């Protein structure tokens, strides 16, 4: 791959895809290709094949997916299974049939069994049952991992899957009804600070979680682009976790909220721990470089600059 290579980033407007786009531009790659869902419906096999035949990208990065929280997964299981299968299958098959030699498939740590030992290793894939609340999305992503592995095995192409831990950063979702824990906390603490109110959070604060700044994820993708990795599947994370209580206190300090944190222990905690083993990607030569404090600070600054997108809510 050189700086003139035509690189197609599917999902280039999302949090991950836009971070990858910024990273490649910063590294001097000019021939980047992106299409909105209105311009290219990735669920439609015919139009995706036509896209590959017309545009002829040399490299494909799949950061496109139908995503959502527990409620959305529970309410729309068929769409989460079928649309994700359609998107990735059309991209993987279209790339293969049009001689794309380099393909990077992005997934999620939810591909691993619910009760797998901690920290999660790549070899734990398909060794047990999935978490029921998001198994539809997870099954689709597992299929994508195996499709890339099959092409790699049968045709010798450089198709690799990267599975990130919990991501956060600029262009994240701060909608309190659908956002993940870290961006939701940023918004809650900010609005509580503005209104001089306490912050109420779900659970006991005892579960442990790992978080990766999205710019580090983009750097990992860039590393995979520059190198032919020996394995087909890599976990991408920091290899470090902290309690939700510690996360809340960190965000509170960075934002400057002085009020109380009230923990509603009647609400569920979720899985006690979810940590990725990142030894394989470290052995290959990559590791995360942004501290949690640095990442949260940068994310909060981006939120402040874009706060108008999010309606004020009562705390």
Task: Report the CATH number at residue 260.
Answer: 3.90.25.10
Can you give the length of the chain in residues?
Answer: 315
Residue 310 annotated in active site: no
Q: At what angle do helices 77-97 and 45-55 cross, to 10 degrees?
A: 30
Q: What is the pLDDT of residue 107?
A: 96
Distance, CA of 136 to CA of 157 (rounded, Å):
28
The one catalytic residue among 8, 137, 159, 300:
137
Asked if residue 12 and residue 145 are part of one domain, the reply reads yes
Is 108 a known ligand-binding residue? yes
Closest by Cα among 143, 166, 146 to 154: 146
Tens-place pLDDT, residues 260-313: 999 999 988 878 889 999 999 999 999 999 999 999 999 999 999 998 776 544
User: Residues 191, 226: one domain?
Assistant: no
Q: What pTM was estimated for this model as a whole?
A: 0.94
Inside any domain, residue 106 = yes
Closest by Cα among 232, 101, 241 to 163: 232
166 is in an annotated binding site: yes
H-run or E-run covering 243:
strand 242-243
Cis peptide leading into residue 114 (ω within 30°): no
Residue carrying structure tokens 């290709």: 33
Do 189 and 133 share a structural domain? no
Asked if residue 59 belongs to a known ligand binding site, the reply is: no
φ/ψ of residue 265, rounded to 5:
-70, -5
Q: Say if 216 falls within a structural domain.
A: yes
Residue range of the domain that includes 247: 181-208+240-273+290-308
17 is in an annotated binding site: yes
State the SS3 of 104-166.
EEECCHHHCCCCCCCCECHHHCCCCCCCHHHHHHHHHHHHHHHHHHHHHHHHCCEEEEEEECE
Spatial contact of 284 and 233, defined as CB atoms under 8 Å apart: no
Q: Are residues 81 and 204 in the same domain?
A: no
Query: What's the CATH code of the domain at 135?
Result: 3.40.50.720
Q: How far apart, in whole angstroms, are the C-alpha atoms of residue 313 and residue 292?
A: 26
Looking at the fold, whether 65 and 78 belong to one and the same domain comes out as yes
Q: Could you report the per-residue pLDDT of 198-240, keeping only the tens digit for each?
A: 999 999 999 999 999 999 999 999 999 999 999 999 999 999 9
| pLDDT band of 179, cuts 50, 70, 90 | confident
Assess whether 257 and 164 both reside in one domain.
Answer: no
The label of the residue with tokens 């032919």 reads: 228
What per-residue confidence (pLDDT) applies to 311? 53
Is 256 labelled as part of a ligand binding site? no
Q: Domain total for the chain? A: 2
- For residues 231 and 247, membership in a common domain is answered with no
């Amino acid at each position: 791959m050189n700086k003139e290579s035509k690189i197609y980033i599917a999902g280039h407007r999302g949090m991950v895809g836009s971070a990858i786009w910024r990273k490649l531009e910063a590294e001097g790659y000019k021939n980047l290709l992106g299409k909105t869902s209105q311009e290219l419906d990735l669920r439609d096999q015919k139009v995706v094949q036509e896209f590959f035949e017309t545009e002829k990208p040399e490299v494909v990065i799949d950061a496109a997916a139908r995503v959502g929280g527990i409620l959305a997964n529970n309410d729309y299981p068929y769409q989460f299974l079928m649309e994700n299968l359609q998107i990735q299958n059309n991209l993987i098959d279209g790339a293969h049939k049009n001689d794309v030699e380099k393909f990077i498939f992005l997934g999620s740590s939810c591909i691993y069994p619910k009760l797998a030992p901690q920290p999660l290793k790549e070899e734990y894939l398909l060794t047990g049952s999935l978490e029921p609340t998001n198994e539809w999305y997870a099954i689709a992503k597992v299929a994508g991992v195996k499709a890339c592995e099959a092409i790699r095995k049968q045709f010798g192409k450089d198709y690799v899957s990267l599975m990130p831990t919990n991501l956060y950063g600029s262009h994240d979702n701060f909608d309190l009804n659908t956002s993940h824990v870290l961006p939701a906390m940023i918004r809650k603490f900010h609005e509580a600070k503005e209104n001089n109110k306490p912050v109420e959070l779900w659970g006991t604060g005892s579960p442990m979680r790992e978080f990766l700044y999205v710019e580090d994820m983009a750097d990992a993708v860039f590393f995979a682009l520059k190198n032919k990795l020996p394995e087909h599947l890599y976990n991408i994370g920091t290899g470090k976790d902290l309690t939700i209580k510690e996360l809340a206190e960190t965000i509170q300090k960075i934002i400057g909220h002085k009020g109380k944190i009230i923990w509603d222990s009647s609400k569920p905690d979720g899985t006690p721990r979810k940590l990725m083993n990142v030894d394989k990607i470290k052995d290959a030569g990559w590791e995360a470089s942004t501290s949690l404090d640095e990442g949260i600070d940068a994310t909060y600054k981006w939120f402040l600059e874009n706060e108008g997108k999010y309606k004020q809510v009562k705390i």
